[in-house]
Amino acid sequence: MKEQTISKATIDRLPLYYRCLRLAQDDGMDIISSEELGRRLELTPEQIRKDLALFGQFGKKGVGYYVNELKFNVGKILGLDNHWNIAIVGIGHLGVALANYQNFIALGFNLVALFDNDPSIIGKTVNHVRVRSIDDLPKVAAKLKIDIGVIAVPAQFAQSVADRLIKAKIKGIWNFAPIKMKVPDDVKIVNEDLSVGLSRLSYYITGK
């Protein structure tokens, strides 16, 4: 129901609200106004109030939002309280960087498995997690109840990795390969194409 009634633009803003509230919490703030949230995120206070109102009544008129409470509620809306189990496939430079990303735990994600097909990498440990053979994916996914698979392999291997994740009944994919993936409707995928971001930045600084 939520996906049918809430716009993608609103959903895309929710993680920004959560991050901003985390930073406000780190700064020791107890209360934050929609105006201050808007200033930090370069959004209008009206947009923020409109977005949050779609999910319930938050904050107190004339006072603002209680930071801890709103952070908790936005996190719950995002499903971060589910403590999803994550596996990374492809332990090259990008895979290692992702495996060492410290905010996984802060966001409620658990890095439980790493996979590769290179015998020289299999058996090594990254961030206290042992790298396993990709062939072990089905049994490990079932045993560790992996929810999200992260694809950090070259583009030519990405679809086959996605197929393996899907076959292992993993329903969420975070894809860093620069290709359009074919997945069933019941599998949710988010694509992060680093080359697109860099190319966009190149356009902006070219000054055309």
Cβ atoms of 147 and 112 closer than 8 Å? no
94 in a labelled binding site: yes
95 in a labelled binding site: yes
User: How far is the C-alpha of 154 from the C-alpha of 117, rounded, in Å?
Assistant: 13
93 in a labelled binding site: yes
78: phi > 0 → left, psi -120 to 50 → alpha, else beta; which? alpha
Instruction: Provide the H-helix boundaries in 32-92.
Output: 34-41, 45-53, 67-77
Whose CA is closest to 169, among 207, 138, 135?
Answer: 138
91 in a labelled binding site: yes
Whose CA is closest to 43, among 17, 69, 22?
Answer: 17
DSSP H or E segment with residue 126: strand 125-126
Q: Give one DSSP letter per residue of 151-197, joined into a string.
A: E-S-HHHHHHHHHHHHHTT--EEEE-SSS-----TTSEEEE--HHHH
User: How far is the C-alpha of 104 from the C-alpha of 86, rounded, in Å?
Assistant: 9
64 in a labelled binding site: no
Q: Which residues are known binding-site members for NAD(+)? A: 90-95
Q: Which residues are known binding-site members? A: 90-95
